[in-house]
Amino acid sequence: MPKAVLLSLLAILMLALPASAQCYADFRVRDGNWDIRFGVSQVPNAACGDTSAARRHIEPRVQRDGWILLDVLSTFGREGLEARRANAGDLFLRY
């Protein structure tokens, strides 16, 4: 392969690295019986640091199953997942 093609491929891969960073949000929902639950969802990287943006992504997902989104508590990276897994139960990365 010519050197220019290899350099181009390398540049494309380097640009793709930031896109692989993962962002998550923790949230609270309730059902029609006022059962309040905690969950964790993956959201687009653009929503990291912005709970309003995360809400726009999570709300339609949970509504499909009849949940009402109460609030998005925070956004965080991959490092915060394990600490939230047990509390989220079956709503861990479901939406």
Confidence of residue 18 (pLDDT cuts 50, 70, 90): very low
- Sorted by where each begins, the domain ranges of the chain are 22-91
pLDDT in tens, 19-70: 457 999 999 999 989 999 999 999 999 999 999 999 999 999 999 999 999 9
Task: Tell me the C-alpha distance between 17 and 36, whole Å.
Answer: 37
The residues facing 28 across adjacent strands are 38, 71
Residue 89 corresponds to which tokens in the numbers above?
A: 């139960």
Task: Tell me the C-alpha distance between 62 and 10, whole Å.
Answer: 39
DSSP 15: H
The C-alpha angle 11, 12, 14, rounded to 5 degrees, equals: 65
- Torsions phi, psi for 2 (to 5 deg): -65, 150
Q: pTM surpassing 0.85?
A: no
